[in-house]
């Protein structure tokens, strides 16, 4: 779904259109699960974060001032939910370094978009999970979720130049690991997990939150 379609869906949600709820959940839940899995490190945490994020989205849908940026708005909520989950999870990674502790990037490192071809998707996601927590959020939002540099900076609370720095270094680390995989198969193939179907209770919880807001 392109940004224009997402914006139209957000406007339908704000208008209380019944079909919009199911479409919104179907579209965003799988994206939120993948994002949360990459950031939180386990399918179990990802399930909780995806559900918590959708619940908070529906509880505050009336606060969405700009439907054109619904994707970045949703991911800001997801990031906060993931940070909360990491604090209590046994799978929690180390915390991100402060922006000022990140060294300047080597601007000569090329950004090779071909690394993100669909046939390497599962391998790429495994590589992303091995990135430093400093670089992983930027790569996930910018390269996997397709957000702009400006949106990524806003979601993560970073300066744009810091986002660019981390993106360069993250991409360079990914390229090195992918080259190793392609030539030496030094990374174990593991399929990306999928979210379990929503239970009736979970779906009712989300729908009730939405109906009480619009």
* In the predicted structure, residue 149 carries a pLDDT above the cut 50: yes
Domain boundaries 3-93+199-211, corresponding CATH code: 1.10.1740
pLDDT at position 125: 80
Angle, helices 149-156/160-184, rounded to nearest 10 degrees: 110
Q: Return the percent helix, strand and coil in the chain, to nearest 5.
A: 70, 0, 30
Q: What is the mean pLDDT of residues 46-74?
A: 93
How far apart (Å, rounded) are the C-alpha atoms in residues 45 and 39?
10
Q: What is residue 91's predicted lDDT score, i.e. its pLDDT?
A: 44
Sign, Cα dihedral of 37, 43, 47, 48:
negative
Which tens digit of pLDDT belongs to each residue from 134-148?
Answer: 999 999 999 888 899
How many Å apart are CA 210 and CA 60, to the nearest integer? 8
What's the pTM? 0.76
Q: What integer best gives the mean pLDDT of the chain? A: 82
Segment 172-191, tens digit of pLDDT: 988 888 877 777 766 665 66
Q: What is the pLDDT of residues 11-52, one digit of tens each?
A: 999 999 989 999 999 999 999 999 988 887 788 888 999 999
Domain extents in the chain: 3-93+199-211, 99-184
Is the per-residue pLDDT at 93 higher than 70? no
Report in angstroms the alpha-carbon separations of 2 from 145, 147, 186. Answer: 11, 11, 35
Residue 85 has pLDDT above 90, yes or no: no
Same topology between domain 3-93+199-211 and domain 99-184 = no
Q: CATH topology for 99-184?
A: Arc Repressor Mutant, subunit A (1.10.10)
Task: Please give the Cα distance from 165 to 116 (Å, whole number).
Answer: 19
User: What does the pLDDT read at residue 120?
Assistant: 59
Res. 58 pLDDT band, cuts 50 70 90: very high
């Amino acid at each position: 779904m392109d940004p224009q379609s997402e914006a139209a869906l957000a406007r339908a949600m704000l208008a209380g259109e019944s079909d919009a709820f199911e479409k919104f959940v179907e579209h965003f839940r799988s994206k939120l699960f993948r994002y949360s899995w990459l950031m939180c490190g386990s399918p179990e945490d990802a399930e909780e974060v995806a559900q918590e994020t959708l619940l908070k989205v529906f509880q505050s849908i009336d606060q969405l001032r700009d439907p054109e940026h619904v994707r970045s708005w949703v991911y800001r909520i997801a990031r906060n939910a993931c940070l909360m989950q990491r604090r209590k999870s046994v799978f929690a990674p180390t915390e991100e370094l402060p922006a000022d502790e990140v060294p300047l990037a080597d601007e000569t490192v090329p950004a090779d978009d071909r690394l993100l071809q669909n046939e390497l998707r599962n391998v790429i996601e495994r590589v992303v999970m091995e990135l430093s927590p400093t670089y992983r959020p930027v790569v996930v939002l910018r390269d996997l979720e397709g957000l702009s540099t400006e949106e990524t900076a806003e979601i993560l609370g970073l300066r744009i130049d810091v986002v660019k720095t981390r993106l360069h270094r993250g991409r360079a680390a990914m390229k090195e690991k992918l080259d190793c995989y392609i030539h030496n198969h030094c990374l174990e193939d593991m399929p990306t997990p999928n979210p379990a179907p929503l239970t009736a209770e979970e779906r009712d919880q989300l729908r009730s939150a939405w109906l009480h807001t619009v």
